[in-house]
Amino acid sequence: MTNVSGGTLRRRPAQRRSLERVQRMLDECARLLDEVGYEALTTKEVARRAEVPIGTFYQFFPDKQGLVRALALRNLEAFLGRITARLSALRLSDWTEVVDLSIDEFVAMKRTTPGFAVVDFGEVLTSPGGPAVKGTERMLDAALENNVIVADRLRAITVELLGAPIGPALDRALVVAVEAADAVLKLAFRSRPDGDPELIAECKHLVRRYLSDHLPQS
């Protein structure tokens, strides 16, 4: 559907030193999101804590929103990498394991990854579980909502590992599944700071039951 990596940075770091600076800025952005929230986040403070000149910041990021967009993309790549790594180490017996594993990894990142409670895959939350800052539902792509991007990336994993039928029906089903999971998991983290385990279990059940009509049976 889209290449979300295109246009995220003003220019790509060509040298190791530049790459390290970019990663430090993203790291400090994540920590500050936890400490002060999105509204109080400033490019000046990110640059100061990352120990880079403010001019260097603007060489790579156009503004605060661009910085947060890059962090969201890094989060998405980390999430997909965690899923792929775990799946490669397992012998799948059923596609429902992919659902459970994906939700478990998302919950783990919510609990442990700096900044992830405020910005996971683009949408900016005023507090864990919401509500969202208006206008951030398309942080990764100007035309497509964040959850559509996430569903598209998960589709590639689903097709490769499970041999699911390619087509608009699967695309639509995965968007619905991601939207549903997103809503229930927000509720779980509104109910408890670390995520209500019963609601997390209900999320898995809901997604498995829904996708059973769209994915091949074991």
Task: Assign 70 a pLDDT band (cuts: 50, 70, 90).
Answer: very high
| pLDDT for residue 217 | 64
Asked whether the predicted pLDDT for residue 45 surpasses 90, the reply is yes
At residue 6 the predicted structure's pLDDT band, cuts being 50, 70 and 90, is very low
Q: What fold characterizes domain 16-211?
A: Tetracycline Repressor; domain 2 (1.10.357)
For residues 103-121, average pLDDT: 97
pLDDT at 14: 59
**Angstrom distances, CA of residue 133 to CA of 53, 67, 109, 123, 150:** 29, 16, 21, 7, 19
pLDDT at position 15, please? 73
pLDDT of residue 16: 82
Indicate the range of 92-106, 144-158, 184-198 predicted with least confidence: 92-106
Range of weakest confidence among 49-58, 158-167, 185-194: 158-167
List helix spans (H) across 1-53: 16-36, 43-50
Residue 119 bridge partners (DSSP):
124
pLDDT, residue 5, reads 42
Query: Which residue, 115, 111, 106, is CA-closest to 68?
Result: 115
DSSP string, 115-182: TTTTBSSSPBBSSTT-PBPTT-TTSS-SSS-HHHHHHHHHHHHHHHHH-PPPSHHHHHHHHHHHHHHH
The model's pTM: 0.89
Residue 35 CB coordination number (10 Å): 13
Please return the burial class of 199, using the count of CB atoms within 10 Å of its CB with bins 0-12, 13-18 and 19+.
middle
pLDDT at 146 over 60: yes
CA nearest neighbour of 211 among 184, 156, 157, 171 = 171
For residue 64 the two structure tokens come to 């605060």
Count of alpha carbons within 13 Å of 178, Cβ hemisphere only?
A: 18
Which is it for the CA torsion 189, 190, 193, 197, positive or negative? negative
DSSP classification of residue 15: S
Q: Is the pLDDT of residue 53 over 60?
A: yes
* Domain map (residue ranges) of the chain: 16-211
Confidence class for position 91, pLDDT limits 50, 70, 90: confident
pLDDT at site 89: 86
Residue 157: pLDDT band (50, 70, 90) is confident
Query: Is 88's pLDDT higher than 90?
Result: no
pLDDT at 71: 97
Q: What is the pLDDT of residues 25-36, one digit of tens each?
A: 999 999 999 999
